[in-house]
Amino acid sequence: MSLRRLALPLAFLLGTNTTPAQQPQPAPTPQATIRTNVEEVVLDMSVHDAKGREVKNLKPGDIEIYEDGVKQDIRSLRLVAGKQALAEQQQQNVPSTGTVFRNPLPTTNLICLVFHNLDPSMIAEKQAIEAAEEFLKYNLQPGTWVGVFGLDTDFSVLEPFTTDRAALLRAAANGFSGHSTDFNNVADAILNATPNTVSTRVTFNGNPANGGTVNATAHISGGNLNRQAIVDASVANGPGARAVRGDQADARRQLGGIESREQFDQMNDMFDKLGTLPGRKTVLLYSPGLLNTGDPDQFKAMVDRARKAGVTLYAIDANGLTENSTALASSAALAHSASLSSQQHVATGANNGAVTMEKARQDDYTMEAVRMTDTQAALRGLAEATGGFLIGSTNDYGKSYQRILEDVDTHYEAIYHPTSTKYDGHLRSIEVKSLRPGLSIQSRPGYFAIPPSPDTTAWNPNEMAALTAINSAPAPKDFSFHTAGFQFRSSPTDTQHGLAFEIPAYNFTLQPDAAAHSHHLHLSIVSLVRDSNGQIVDQFAQDASFDVPDAQIQQIKRNVITFTHPLSLGPGFFAVDTAIVDTIGQRASTSKFMFNNAAQPGLNLSSLMMVQRLDPVSGKPDPSDPFVFEAGANQWRKVVPELRDAFASTAKPAVYFVVYPDPSIKDKPQIEVEFRDNGQVIAKQTAPLPAPNSSGAIPMVVAAVAKPGKCELRVTAIQGASRTMQTLYYTVVTQ
């Protein structure tokens, strides 16, 4: 069925694009990895003993699992070794053919690549970069996130936690300078156990899963890279390198105690910040060595701090086999002690107080030559005390990296049926309590109660940030956007609806890409539809990115980005909660509206909506999408709604609606269209309608009056004695 132009003074439009400028299309969204049903929870846990070692003999009676403070019945508990993890993940991704849905909650694995005290003038820096790049070539399990950090005067972020391998390689290769971040914000970003590149500025008042409040707006954790060129200005055993090592030995001899305490403070700062993050934290520390203060109590306190933070540290000696700084520095220190010893046998009257004191410290220097120049020993001790190990005196990292990844992927899997069956979208807290002394257990601290959906089976981190914003109080309002719901075909059992979301492009931060001569825009949107009991009955999520050529920046800023989502609802009251995240601009906004869905038997007339444009539909049209209609023979169009209600007098607004005739009435349907301006009727016309299409619908696009003032459009569908009316209000302003 093709629509014909109706002979009315009010021109009816067919297939007219009312806005010629094209809107950029979203880039493909990567597949997410976190499923959303909760009939059966599969909770992954990593368990260590008091010495940081992996526990291999945990029993169901050793732990208790609580969800929102309610003890859960553990149905099974098993140990999954690292080599099994990939096969297990692939098995979980196979759709279930039974009636029980599973909600796998894998352990949040955070891997931190930390560059410690690497001097750009030394070859150790290049060695560390190459070692880190080699690690990033390995495939990581889903749910494993990697961040790049620098540890020197402070613990700074070079690249926030991400699964973007290219971004991590750039961070590892291009710079050792970043800026500090608030790790409390990062912790909130991982609150549902997904480390997000987008996190939430948050102020906690109690536990949000137990009735506490969170004041939050989304933002990106960490900071931009301060990229620097890598300077390889030394030769392993050249005169320059030897001179530098000699100076280092002198400095450590004179100021070793101060430097070692400073390095301990660096480690403690790192452990304190990482301790705020949930999940399992693995640190790959690329370091030229760690000085030991010689105080066993200080070393034990540092180890205890790491264990309390849940950190497993693997130390990689950045000197490798290329630069044997430990032996050379030790030789320099011992040589100084030997020279002092030889001076004891030389009689001289030139001994002053300083020389005498230096000679008196001969034994101290000998001890420090062993204790402070063997920097691998402290690294090994710290790594093994936290459950890791040292990779030293080698340039071959392959087998060691494989062992690290197996350690990271080894976990326990506990299965339980949650006692709560309400899918309200709120955060459910998870607490695992140990009944066996000395155990340290890391697991996901919570998840959002989202029902299974064929359209939204998983959430990526940016969409998780939007879910967090929806659950925040007060709700963030960093920018404006419009949402609306439109009613279409109705029956006694359900009604077809369409949600529309319109966001002005100028709200979003554009990230320049000088090489591509373009700017990048990235947003995420999540919308939850709840019934009167608070139960989620429908959901919509979209993560979209746009690459805008530099020449089109000003044009894009004047456009809007629009999404539509079809759904069907039964009778009753409904609430729609929506959150949009500007992932680059570190901002978020939310909105909420409610409506009553009443059954409309017989003759139906959809809501009236302003038309932003009519896009051609390529391929097979979706019959369930009420925004799509047949404009001619094999010609389909999709209506992009205009949600703004104010127009300039030079605009040419159009209105879209659909008439659904009652097949039980033999009379042909017709419509009555009436325009009012400031309460006065300025046009009114009745006309017959064309025949319905194959679905029994009659879609219409009609030109609207653009006379300055407060305008009203009334459309009445008439079929025999049946009548139904819809009204649309808008404003036209004089430019």
pLDDT score at 190: 42
Q: Do strands 40-48 and 63-67 pair parallel, antiparallel, or not at all (unpaired)?
A: unpaired
Classify 698 as helix, strand or coil. strand
- Residue 730's pLDDT band (boundaries 50, 70, 90)? very high
Which pair of structure tokens corresponds to residue 508? Answer: 């979003």
Phi, psi of 515 (to 5 degrees): -65, -35
Domains of the chain by residue range: 1-18+608-735, 109-181+222-408
- Residue 232's pLDDT band (boundaries 50, 70, 90)? very low
Question: Distance between CA atoms of 391 and 427, rounded to whole angstroms?
Answer: 41
pLDDT score at 101: 61
Q: Give residues with Cβ within 8 angstroms of 184, minimum separation 6.
A: 202, 276
* Residue predicted with more confidence, 46 or 96: 46
Cβ atoms of residues 541 and 34 within 8 Å: no
- Residue 152's pLDDT band (boundaries 50, 70, 90)? confident
Question: Distance between CA atoms of 359 and 343, rounded to whole angstroms?
Answer: 8
The CATH number fitting domain 1-18+608-735, selected from 2.60.40.10, 3.30.530.20, 1.10.274.10, 1.10.10.10: 2.60.40.10
Question: Distance between CA atoms of 65 and 413, rounded to whole angstroms?
Answer: 12
pLDDT surpasses 90 at 727: yes
Cα 410 versus chain centre, distance:
24
Domain 1-18+608-735 matches domain 109-181+222-408 at the CATH topology level: no
Q: What does the pLDDT look like over 64-100, one tens digit per residue?
A: 999 999 999 999 999 988 766 545 554 544 443 334 5
Chain mean pLDDT for the chain:
76
pLDDT score at 356: 56
pLDDT score at 353: 55
Question: Distance between CA atoms of 486 and 503, rounded to whole angstroms?
Answer: 17
The residue-averaged pLDDT of 661-683 equals: 92
Residue 130: how many other CB atoms lie within 10 Å: 16
Q: Which amino acid, 483?
A: T
* Residue predicted with more confidence, 255 or 493: 493
Q: What does the pLDDT look like over 377-427, one tens digit per residue?
A: 888 999 998 889 999 878 888 889 988 988 888 889 999 989 888 889 888
The residue-averaged pLDDT of 259-268 equals: 85
281-303: b (≥16 Cβ within 10 Å) or e:
bbbbbbbbbbbbbeeeeebeebb
- Residue 175's pLDDT band (boundaries 50, 70, 90)? low
Which pair of structure tokens corresponds to residue 8? Answer: 């009315």
Q: What does the pLDDT look like over 315-341, one tens digit per residue?
A: 998 876 544 444 444 444 445 445 545
Q: How many residues does the chain have?
A: 735
Distances from the Cα of 607 to the Cα of 51, 276, 544, 723, angstroms: 66, 50, 28, 15
pLDDT score at 615: 92
CATH 3.40.50.410 matches 109-181+222-408: yes
